[in-house]
Amino acid sequence: MAIKAEYVKELRERTGAGIMDCKKALIESGGDKEKAVAYLREKGLAKMVERARRVAAEGVIESYIHHGSKIGVLVEVNCETDFVARTGDFQTFSKEIALQIAASKPLFVSREDIPESVLAKEREILKTQALNEGKPEEIAEKIVEGRIRKFYGEICLLEQPYIRDPERTVQDLLMEVSARTGEKIEISRFTRYEIGKESLDESNKEECAIS
């Protein structure tokens, strides 16, 4: 059976299992995502499911100042133990995330952080665009869903293409570091500063996303 790429991506994000393992799980479960998660857990592949229940209360506040000192970033990256927080692998990852934020200007860590008002406004704009292009109502709705996924990839840090390897997302990078360290890794929050512009922090991200 044909398996939608977005189903594979969603299952991978939920479980941390490989792409081919996720695809096989969906095929074996007839496309049912919950059954696919259970299948991966039975096979011992869904490591992130167990890690998701654990608490990541250690970590670092990483900073990045761009050449010329006109762009700066502060980001909180968490792990489970101080031991992992001191490892080169974790510290390199944290520096890469700060650099990613400086270069790609995300507004939120994940799609779950986007206020419903922002999504509603974006959907309204995208639907109007599709209708203005002459698309029928039912086709316009499908177009909106596709464009919303692109919207996530632009403003959500975890869904952005990794600047050093656009074939991977920041979420992919996070899962790789989590697999190597054996700990839950989280990006909790960030603030991006740019000379002459208002800083992107929790007080104005919604306003920036709508505009």
Domain architecture of the chain: domains with CATH:
5-52 (1.10.8.10), 58-112+156-210 (3.30.479.20), 115-151 (1.10.286.20)
Contacts for 15 with CB less than 8 Å, ≥ 6 apart: 22, 37, 40, 41, 45, 46, 47, 48, 49
pTM: 0.70
**Which pLDDT value is given to residue 82?**
93
pLDDT of residue 147: 87
Strand partners, 170: none
Phi, psi of 153 (to 5 degrees): -65, -15
Residue 64 has a pLDDT of 97
Q: Which segments of the chain have a pLDDT < 70?
A: 1, 16, 43-53, 200-211
**pLDDT in the model for residue 81:** 93
pLDDT of residue 20: 81
Amino acid letter at 140? Answer: A
Per-residue pLDDT tens over the stretch 25-59: 899 888 888 888 878 777 665 555 555 567 788 99
Q: Which has the closest alpha carbon to 113: 49, 205, 199?
A: 205
